[in-house]
């Protein structure tokens, strides 16, 4: 699946790391703004996750794709103001992005890395914005703590 000399893969890695370079600062600014959401800033972070997800899907990097997708879901809810970017939300996103960066740095082993802790935390954030009846149906399929 992964080839060290593959130019496309190397371009993907470089572009992904470039997308991730300002994520921490952007997320902290989003947190600082709180409910007064800066849509452009949220869109920048969302697009970074979206680009990483798309490339990962093309490259067969399923863990990177899945984690990026869950990050994207949370950011979509922040963007639509269904989730207020609290310190807890931002910390969850920061940890997920840190793991994403680690996986991209070690892309060859990324599909073997355990991302379940982040996936569950991100799903928990998205589930918190659901109506109560939908939360109940989700809790039967996933343990959210």
Q: Percent of the chain having pLDDT more than 90?
A: 81
| Sign of the dihedral defined by the CA atoms of residues 7, 10, 14, 17, in that order | positive
Residue 70 lies in a domain: yes
Q: Is a pLDDT exceeding 70 seen at residue 104?
A: yes
Domain count, the chain: 1
Q: Tens digit of pLDDT for each residue in 72-91?
A: 999 999 999 999 999 999 99
What CATH number does the domain containing 35 carry? 1.20.120.160
* pLDDT score recorded for residue 62: 96
**Distance, CA of 122 to CA of 129 (rounded, Å):** 12
Residue 35 lies in a domain: yes
Sequence-distant (≥ 6) Cβ neighbours of residue 30 within 8 angstroms: 37, 38, 41, 42, 45, 78, 85, 90
* pLDDT score recorded for residue 84: 93
Tell me the residue range of the domain where 110 lies.
7-139
Residue 36 lies in a domain: yes
Q: Tens digit of pLDDT for each residue in 121-145?
A: 999 999 987 666 655 555 444 544 3
Mean of pLDDT values over 31-47 = 94
Residue 2 lies in a domain: no
Residue that the structure tokens 């355990």 belong to:
114
Q: Is a pLDDT exceeding 50 seen at residue 20?
A: yes
- Tell me if 52 sits within 8 A of 102, measured CB to CB: no
Residue 74 lies in a domain: yes
Residue 122 lies in a domain: yes
Residue 1 lies in a domain: no
């Amino acid at each position: 699946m992964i080839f060290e000399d593959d130019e496309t893969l190397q371009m993907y890695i470089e572009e992904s790391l470039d997308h991730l370079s300002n994520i921490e600062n952007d997320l902290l600014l989003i947190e600082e703004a709180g409910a007064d959401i800066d849509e452009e800033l949220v869109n920048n972070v969302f697009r970074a996750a979206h680009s990483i997800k798309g490339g990962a899907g093309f490259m067969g990097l399923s863990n990177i794709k899945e984690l990026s997708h869950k990050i994207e879901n949370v950011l979509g809810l922040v963007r639509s103001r269904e989730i207020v970017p609290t310190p807890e939300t931002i910390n969850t996103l920061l940890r997920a992005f840190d793991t994403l960066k680690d996986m991209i740095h070690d892309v060859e082993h990324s599909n073997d890395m355990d991302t379940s802790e982040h996936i569950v935390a991100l799903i928990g954030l998205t589930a918190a914005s659901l109506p109560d009846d939908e939360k109940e149906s989700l809790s039967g399929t996933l343990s959210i703590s």
